[in-house]
Amino acid sequence: MKIAVVGTGYVGLVTGTCFAETGNHVTCVDINEAKIKQMQDGIVPIYEPGLEDMFHRNVNEGRLNFTTSLSEGIEGAKVIFLALPTPPGEDGSADLKYILQVANDLGPLLADYTVIIDKSTVPVGTSELVQTAIAKEAKFPFDVVSNPEFLREGVAVEDFMKPDRVVIGTQSDRAKEMMSKLYAPLVRQGNPIIFMDERSAEMTKYAANAFLATKITFMNEIANLCEKVGANVDDIRRGIGTDSRIGKRFLFAGIGYGGSCFPKDVQALAKTSEENDYQFHILDSVMRVNELQKTKLMPYIQGHFKNDLAGKTIGIWGLAFKPYTDDIREAPALYNIEALLALGCKVRVYDPEAMKNVQDQIGDVVEYSKTPYDAIDGADALLIVTEWPQFRTPDFERMETLLKNKVIFDGRNLYELPQMQELGYTYYSVGRQSVN
């Protein structure tokens, strides 16, 4: 099938590449000329495990192309995916200007029956707005389908190729048939395509993200309480996660959730509630708790150094909002850097993938290190923010020779308490007792 994907960010690029991999001919359209040129030159603009090989294979075999021209990109396409940004507007609601702009542009360009698919995360009712915008100048029949995306950064290719489920919101039989054909190779494993109406599909995406953000936040609050009552949140996680009604995943306490989705989607759902005269109390709490959680180790850092942090050097391991990505959107590391700098600290950072993005965003207010060990050379303490695998089994003996003090503040609970005790570190983590 000939497919167009409009918007070649995270979701667009993964969608386009994976559908090319299943034998379709895909053209990716983006207004960012530099990005399109990069991809035409064979450079994948994001770091995502498994994507690069698949990208090159499909480009070389002629199934994956790139253009900045919408009219050229959608020529002959039976389906058009909209994978455009929906950032928070000033009031927290999702800003639909990118989607509606493209919808307006698409109308006069359609040259046959086409299925237009919202892959972006959009508030309930958006498919009707898209429908109206396209209809203004369309001369051919079309259907607008809501097909929210559930991939996680870092495992995006696997999530896309083997989805737990595919949610498709449409009431058109013609669109349903087209979507079933497109997704057939991906749902072979027995995972379902779930059909529903457009509004329910749009709501399903927000419900999933808000539920997961709430699950994490609940564990973060349990962790905060564990510290006070002398319990260990890792044991609690094992103790409740084995209950199949609760499930083992997304129960890891830490220094808050970040990324391009949870923060903005929880906020947007709260806004939708407000607009519909409903106070979604849980979401308000989730947002408030997560704000506090991101810098929850700061009081421990201040306490340890007796509120005298001016001139102290803190090494930070991890900048990306989670491992296996270079994405720093809403990353807890940025909040901790800001808090440490405000207290007069010098900050030295290391991340295997995200340092360029951080430097582009905040410049040289921190020092960028070539290795994790450079980041702690002469530092007064180490703060761990992202659980990259290489931080799990570091050379503790070497660290001891580099750190001025054997102190670790660990926002991701990477090490066992008895191990830290034996090694003689002062160790603060989340939801567990401190080791001195």
Ligand X SMILES: O=c1ccn([C@@H]2O[C@H](COP(=O)(O)OP(=O)(O)O[C@H]3O[C@H](CO)[C@@H](O)[C@H](O)[C@H]3O)[C@@H](O)[C@H]2O)c(=O)[nH]1
Ligand Y SMILES: NC(=O)c1ccc[n+]([C@@H]2O[C@H](COP(=O)([O-])OP(=O)(O)OC[C@H]3O[C@@H](n4cnc5c(N)ncnc54)[C@H](O)[C@@H]3O)[C@@H](O)[C@H]2O)c1
Binding to ligand Y in span 252-281, by CB under 6 A? 260-261
Q: Is 258 in the site for ligand X (CB under 6 A)?
A: yes
**18 is a catalytic site residue:** no
- Closest by Cα among 307, 322, 365 to 341: 365
- Cβ proximity of 326 and 356 under 8 Å: yes
- By beta-carbon proximity to ligand X, the closer residue of 320 and 403 is 320
> Which of ligand X, ligand Y, none does residue 216 bind to, with CB < 5 to 8 Å depending on kind?
ligand X
Interface residue with ligand X among 64, 80, 182, 251 (CB under 6 A) is: 251
With CB under 6 A as the contact rule, which of the stretches 34-42, 48-56, 151-159, 416-424 interacts with ligand X? 151-159
User: How far is the C-alpha of 208 from the C-alpha of 214, rounded, in Å?
Assistant: 10
CB burial readout 305-332, b (16+ within 10 A) else e = beeebeebbbbbbbbbbbbbbbbbbbbb
Q: Which residues is 407 bridged to in the sheet?
A: 426
In the complex, residue closest to ligand X by CB: 261
Do the beta carbons of residue 98 and residue 86 sit within 8 Å? yes
Q: Is 297 in the site for ligand X (CB under 6 A)?
A: no
Which CB, 175 or 328, lies closer to ligand X? 328
Q: Does 169 bind ligand Y (CB under 6 A)?
A: no
Q: Which residue in the block uniquely carries the two structure tokens 């006070």?
A: 228
Restricting to residues 172-211, name those near ligand X by CB under 6 A.
209
- Rule CB under 6 A: say whether 120 interacts with ligand Y: yes
Which amino acid is located at 266 in the chain? V
Q: How far is the CB of 8 from ligand Y (least distance, A)?
A: 5
Binding residue for ligand Y, selected from 2, 32, 135, 308, defined by CB under 6 A: 32
In angstroms, what is the minimal distance from the CB of 373 to ligand Y?
A: 31
- List CB contacts of 48: < 8 A, sequence separation 6 or more: 10, 14, 153, 154, 156, 157, 324, 325
Residues 105-124 close enough to bind ligand X by CB under 6 A: 121
Distance of CA 260 to the CA centre of its chain: 5
DSSP 79-101: EEEE-----B-TTSSBP-HHHHH
- The phi and psi torsions of 37 (rounded to 5 degrees) equal -60, -45
**Binding segment (CB under 6 A) for ligand X, from list 226-234, 247-255, 347-355, 392-400:** 247-255
Residue number with CB closer to ligand X (296 or 322): 322
Round to whole Å and give the CA distance between 392 and 133.
51
By the criterion CB under 6 A, which residues form the site for ligand X? 121, 149-153, 209, 212, 216, 250-252, 254, 257-259, 261-262, 321-322
Q: Which residues bind ligand Y (CB under 6 A)?
A: 6-12, 29-32, 35, 83-86, 98, 101-102, 120-121, 149, 151, 153, 260-261
Task: Cite the active site residues.
Answer: 261
